Amino acid sequence: MFLSQCQAVVVGADTVLANGDVINKAGTALLAWAARGHKVPFYVLCETLKISSRTWSGDLAQLEEKEAGEVMEEPIEGVTTRNFYFDLTVSRLITSIITERGPMGRREIKQLLSSY
């Protein structure tokens, strides 16, 4: 990867949870961890309408899952294949969430949700 040459990583979000965690396409969390390892800021861009008052329970059933055959043509004995379309990026890996109202962190998200 070229992260060592990057000034920042910028991704979108499908959902921003009340605690600042982000649900986005599979691979986003891995990219956030890699950015952290290279000391590269990690930004999320989204509209405030994607901010949810919900939090994640840790239950993988909350993440959309598709057929394993999409990623494995032939099953491998003793191996369970999961095909998640989304993952969860924890807020501590996110430098800031940039919205039409400006940059937001956990505090600003809490304030926004309390105004609804």
- Give the separation between CA 83 and CA 26, rounded to whole angstroms: 9
CB 9 within 8 A of CB 3: yes
Q: Which of 14, 21, 59, 87 is catalytic?
A: 14
pLDDT band at 68 (very low <50, low <70, confident <90, very high): confident
The three-state secondary structure class of 115 is coil
Q: How far is CA 98 from CA 19, 21, 59, 62, 106, in A?
A: 15, 14, 27, 25, 12
Q: What residue ranges define each of the domains in the chain, with the CATH number in brackets?
A: 9-70+80-114 (3.40.50.10470)
pLDDT band at 57 (very low <50, low <70, confident <90, very high): low
CB 88 within 8 A of CB 63: yes
What six digits make up the tokens of 40? 């590269």
Return the percent helix, strand and coil in the chain, to nearest 5.
Answer: 30, 25, 45
CB 38 within 8 A of CB 8: no
pLDDT digits (tens, 9 = 90+) for 27-48: 999 999 999 999 999 999 999 9
What is the overall mean pLDDT for the chain? 91
Whether residue 87 lies in the annotated active site: no
Write down the pTM of the prediction. 0.84
